[in-house]
Amino acid sequence: MRTAARFSRCISCLLFPSGAMAEVRCSLVCGVAALLLSSAVFAFVEDLDDTFKDTRVNDVWLVDFYAPWCGYCKKLEPVWHEVGAELRSSGSPVRVGKMDATAYSGMASEFGVRGYPTIKLLKGDLAYNYKGPRTKDDIVEFANRVAGPAVRALPSKQMFEHMMKRHDVLFVYVGADSPLKEKYNEVATELIVYTYFFSASEEVLPETISLPELPAVMVFKDGGFFTYDEYEDGSLSSWVNKERFQGYLQIDGFTLYELGETGKLVAIAVIDEKDPTEESSRLKTMIQGVARDYREQFNRDFQFGHMDGNDYINSLIMSEVAVPSFIILNTSNEQYFLPSEPVQTTEQLVHFITGVLNGSAQAYGGDGFIQKIKRVAFDAKSTIMSVFRSSPLLGCFLFGLPLGVISLMCYGICTAETDDGSEDMDALKREGLTDEEEEFEEEEEEQRRLAEGAEDEDDVGEKDPEEKKTD
């Protein structure tokens, strides 16, 4: 035994010197640890099947409905496992799962899945769609917000101040039980996917705040607060939906999509933040001032902000806007408005926005039939150009091969020889004749052949004298 042990150690020393042996052992340990860690992370996400409908009732579930062939689903997969690990480690009651919507299409249809990937949080009989960015932090924040109560209580001034620091926009119901509170709870249940909702007593509010009457629904944002007025603001749900954004914010493609659900027009300063200029800074500051100082005049109808670069705007309006510039978008009907001249002063900007509001400003674009045709052509052109920019050889293959095949087919059709169809025409003519007409035509044909034979005999009989002598 000792000899064998010494022999194995000798072999190990020959194959792996002491330093190399340590590296190999370290690599093996790291590999095993990584394998165990990855398997533990994957265990935080449960694979669901058609029995899920009956077993989900007593838990809160965050489910990713995916398709195996979907590229976006594959991109989401590692993020989804990070979400599962984060929620499990934080002690959240939310269970994370994923379901192949193509294998269990009936189950996916029952949950209203229309595309891939679809993320839903299922709580009791309620199902909430997630429409935010597909990042770990955003998805985890959504899950924790929606999984909790629709309305959270603020029992103290300290808690109120803490929430004010955490949230840019804060909705608070102040007062005792009332019909307004019931309506507030309904709206919170509906719109919890977008923002938090709180309730508090009047004593919790800062001493500088005095309300003329209670109960009241307030929103704290932009360094102040604003109170819901049923007669001026309409339905509470509509008011919350419009007020859930700050008065001025940075806008990207996803934010613009969300702003479309508010029904507001979006006033945007198009600037280049990577190469800021004095003109860009001036335009951005001007729009921020209008959003702040003209809130009472424009807040119900306009959302203000800025966008970095003009690529996204250009794709929306199927044209090109200058940088920096100012544009107003109506996302509901795809119209847009541009100033007739460069905006130099706040008064010019306010005059232009007022013109858009009262309908005197020139509107471009829209969702008419001609615009839809332009959209199809523009999207096709953009797709082709993007393919050629990213991979010229692939573009030549994808678009050149079909054009070549079509060209060959057209050439073959145009140069094909046509057969003599006289016999077919005679056959068609015969098919259209009656029996008597057909017999008459056969007799005429027979007489014609006899006459031709007689002529041939006459030609033979009437020989030239020289030919006779020769005979």
By annotation, the residues acting in catalysis are 70, 73
Query: Can you tell me the distance from the alpha carbon of 204 to that of 208, in angstroms, rounded to the nearest whole number?
Result: 11
Query: Can you tell me the distance from the alpha carbon of 458 to that of 453, in angstroms, rounded to the nearest whole number?
Result: 9
Give the β-pairing of 60-66 and 118-123.
antiparallel
| 202: DSSP letter | G
Query: Can you tell me the distance from the alpha carbon of 471 to that of 469, in angstroms, rounded to the nearest whole number?
Result: 5
Q: Residue with structure tokens 């809160």?
A: 60
Helix count (H) and strand count (E) of the chain? Answer: 21, 16
- What is the distance in angstroms between the CA of the first residue and the CA of the last residue of the chain? 129
Helix (H) or strand (E) holding 171: strand 170-174
Q: Mention every residue, 6+ apart, whose C-beta is less than 8 A from residue 80.
A: 45, 64, 96, 98
CB 327 within 8 A of CB 336: yes
Dihedral class, residue 91 (left if φ above 0, else alpha if ψ from -120 to 50, else beta)? left
Give the β-pairing of 325-330 and 265-271.
antiparallel
Dihedral class, residue 112 (left if φ above 0, else alpha if ψ from -120 to 50, else beta)? left
Residue 228 CA neighbour count, 13 Å, CB half:
26
Q: Residue 170 pairs with which residues in a beta bridge?
A: 220
CB 275 within 8 A of CB 330: no
* Distance (Å) of CA 157 to CA 154, 162, 224, 225: 8, 8, 17, 16
* Distance (Å) of CA 246 to CA 30, 138, 210: 47, 18, 23
